[in-house]
Amino acid sequence: MRAYIAMTFLRRVVMLSHSHKFGLYPQATRANRAFGMIQASLALLLLLSLVHPSRAFAANPDLETVLTGSRERIEKFDYRMAGRLTRVEGNGKRTNYKFVAKARWFPDGLRLFCEISGPGSEKTSLLLHMSVSGHVTIEAALPGEKSASVLPFERWNDPIAGTDFTYEDMVESQFFWKNQDLLAPEKYGARDCFVLKSKPGAQDRTYYGSVTSWIDRSILFPVHVVKTLRETGRQKEFIYYGLRQVGGAWSANQVEAKVQGRPGSSILVVEGGSGKANLGRKDFDISRSSAQGENVK
Using pLDDT thresholds of 50, 70 and 90, give the confidence band for residue 106: very high
pLDDT at 40: 43
Using pLDDT thresholds of 50, 70 and 90, give the confidence band for residue 121: low
Kindly report, residue by residue over 244-278, the tens digit of the pLDDT: 998 788 999 999 999 999 999 999 999 999 999 99
pLDDT at 102 over 80: yes
DSSP per residue, 155-185: GTTSBSTTSS-BGGGGS-GGGGSSEEEEEEE
Average of per-residue pLDDT values in the chain: 84
Higher-confidence residue of 48 and 173: namely: 173
Q: What is the CA radius of gyration of the chain?
A: 25
> Which of the listed ranges 41-50, 108-117, 141-150 does the model predict with the highest average pLDDT?
108-117
Give the closest residue to 183 by CA, choosing from 213, 145, 141, 218: 213
pLDDT at 38: 41
pLDDT at 20: 41
- Chain mean position to CA 5: 31
pLDDT at 248: 84
Exposure of 105 in the CB half-sphere (CA atoms within 13 A): 14
pLDDT at 288 over 50: yes
Kindly report, residue by residue over 130-170, the tens digit of the pLDDT: 999 999 999 999 998 889 999 999 999 999 999 999 999 99
